[in-house]
Every structure is written in C-alpha cells, then in structure tokens.
Chains A and B, each alone.
Chain A
Amino acid sequence: MKLILLFISAAIVNNFVLSYFLGICPFVGVSKKVSSAVSMGMAVTFVMVIAAAVTWLIYHLILVPFGVEILEYVSFILVIASLVQLVEMFIRKVSKPLYDTLGIFLPLITTNCAIMGLALFSVLREYNFIESIFFGIGAGAGFTLALVLMAGIREELELADVPKHFQGAAITMIVAGSLALAFMGFAGLISI
C-alpha cells in the first residue's frame, strides 16, 4: 500500500516538473508535439528507474561503508552520464525501432536535472531499495504526464492568437503556470 501511495505522490501530488521544477529544460524544449513528448517521457522514465536502482546501490554499498559520502555528487553524475551512454548502446543493439524513436533524446537526458534530483531525493528521504524504484517509476510517469499535457496544449496554441511579446517562451511559462495551478489541487491528498 505504501508503495502505491509513493507512486501516486511522485506522479501527481508532488509532480517533478510542476512542483519541484525538475526537468524544465526538456519540458520547454521538447513539448511542441505530442508524439515526441511521449518518446521523451518514455526515455526519461526508462533511465530514471535504472538510475534510481544503481545510485541506491552505489550510495548504500560503496559510499556509506567506506565513509566517503562527500563524493556523492561526483559519483552520482558520473554514474548517470555513463548509464545514459550504456542505455543508448543497449537499445541500439536490442531494438532498432525503439532506438530510432528515442534516438536524439537519449543524450539530452544526462543534463536532465530530474534524474539527478531523483537520486538526491531518494538519499535525502532514506528510501529503501524497493521504495526508490517505485519513486523512480512514479516520477517518470509524472514527468511524462506533464510533458504530454503541455505538448497537447501547445499544439492548440499554434492556432491561437497570442499577443506578440508573449509568443514563444513567455506563453509557455504562463501555460505551465496554469498547469501547475491545476496540479496544486492535488496538494495535501497524500502526505508522505
């Protein structure tokens, strides 16, 4: 039961994009078309779950026993960067169609703060291994949800008559603000 609550909390109540502001760059950059938003969301979720597992293992099996928690940031970012490379090579070998869909989005994930944020939050909140993985799945689902919603709105926005100075990034921010306002409605639903 706790795991389901954790999933819902990460996906909806404390949405990574709309209430923690993690992963804003792809949120603004790759949210012009619904199809690419779905691919990006899938790629991020995939890497997130693996990164959650690997960084948990590294932190609790290497950094803590040897008393070198000070290397937390350096090791996490290195692990994430190499993980993204590995996942990219793995997908290219195993599934060519999937690689073609995710292709260009994979390298971008390295500097996606959502992945790093996930790893830091798991350590900060002292999740156990299974909880970290569920947290990763939930955060990935929440990221995908926010990205796809945003892309849907922006496709409609193409046809709207936006005031000249608000075109581009400005209106995207205002729309994101309205979305965040809607998601605030879930606040307090679950407290974990």
Chain B
Amino acid sequence: MAKKVNSLKYEFIKGLWVENPVLISLLGLCPTLAVTVSAVNGLAMGLATTFVLTSSSIIISLIRKFIPHQVRIASYIVIIATFVTVADRFLAAWFPPISKELGPYIPLIVVNCLILGRQEAFSSKNNSGRAILDALGMGSGFILVLVALGGVREILGSGAFFGFTILGDWFNPWMVMILPPGAFLTLGFFVAGVNWLNERRAAQ
C-alpha cells in the first residue's frame, strides 16, 4: 500500500484543528447548535459524545474484520445506539439536572453524523490504538468547539461563564444569543474566523 501513514501524534492532534469535526467538516451540527446555551451544557454534551465515539471506535476497530461489508452501517448504528443508551442512563442517574436540560439531544447522539462518519472513514480501516487516538482527538476538537460556542453565547446572552456572573449589572444581556438565532449567528462567525485564520497561515 502506498498510502501515507500518519504519525500517532498526528492522529490525535488533527481533530483539534486541521480536521476539526465541526469547524472544518461541518459534522454534528445539530447538537452543536442546540445545546450550546451555556458552557456547562456544551461540556456535558461534548463529553457524552466523546465517550460514545471512543467506546464504539474501540469495539468497531476490534471487530472490523468480522463485520460483513453489506451490513456494516447497520452494525455500526446498533453499537453506537448501545453506548448512547449507556451514556443516557449514566447522566440520568448521576447528573439529573444536566440530563433534564439536554433532554432528547442525548439520545440524538445516535444520529450524530460525526460518530458514524469516523467509524466509516477511520475505525473500520485502522487498528484499535489508532482508532482510540483518532476518536479522542476528534472528541477533544468537538468539546473545544462546544465549550467555546457555549461560552460566547453564555457571556453575551446572560453575562455569565460556567454559571458564574462575570459581567456586572451594567451589562444588558443579549437575549437573542441564548435563543436559536444566536446559535446560527455565532457558529457563522466562528466558521468565518477559522477561514480567515487558515488563510493567514497559508499566506505566511
């Protein structure tokens, strides 16, 4: 095979920026937009997704040689759905307020195209070591974006960060930022910012 083999370190860090799942590939937008009302919600969603992504990557990379090619997508989905059920029950048992706030968006991790996309593009072709690194990298990239997005929306929308008020009484909260339009607008500016940074880097 003439395919270039990336270093192990690269498998991890590529998810943070170069192939960031949200900002570059625009995968997993539904949870990204829906739950980032506050930084805490973003963090919880990111961690849950990373857990599901990593666990299913391990299982799928281990059994990749036994899954018949024709039914691979269905098998991936069943494995992912199993881990989503685990994550959902875990959150409901240990963190009821967060589980209540995220509501149906936790079960919707099943149809997060980011997870299925990584299984199809990576775990089904690589050994588990690489698959774990890839999943952790992609997961960290996802968490990073979710927390940043949630942070910006929380600061502008309610003058707080992780629940602590940081902007004083003089600040008039921008209600729109914690309503649905704010999610689209913030992500739009994030993507434009990334385009700008990447171009500046390429020009140097």
Give chain A's interface residues, CB within 8 Å of chain B: 18-25, 28, 70-74, 77-78, 81, 110-113, 116-117, 120-121, 124, 163-174, 176-178, 180-181, 184
Contact = CB atoms under 8 A, between A and B. Distances in A.
B107 A173 contact: no
Contacts of B107: 72-73, 116, 120
Q: How large is the interface on B (under 10, 10 to 19, 20 to 34, 35 or more residues)?
A: 35 or more
Contact of A25 (B85, B113, B182): B113
Nearest to B187: A173
| SS of A interface (majority) | helix
List the 7 closest A-B pairs by CB distance, nearest first.
A173-B188, A177-B184, A170-B192, A177-B185, A174-B188, A21-B34, A180-B181
Interface stretch (B40-48, B75-83, B122-130, B135-143): B75-83
Interface of B: 26-27, 29-31, 33-34, 73-74, 77-78, 81-82, 84-85, 88-89, 103-104, 107-108, 110-113, 116, 176, 179-185, 187-189, 191-193, 195-196, 199
Contacts of B191: 168-170, 173
Contact of A70 (B89, B184, B196): B89
Given A124-B103, A173-B187, A21 B180 contact: yes
B143 to A, nearest CB: 18
A184 B33 contact: no
5 contacts: A20-B34, A21-B31, A70-B85, A72-B85, A170-B188
Contacts of A70: 85, 89
A78 B76 CA distance: 11
Contacts of A178: 181
Contacts of B108: 22, 113, 116-117, 120
Given A77-B78, A169-B188, 4 more contacts: A21-B31, A73-B85, A120-B104, A170-B192
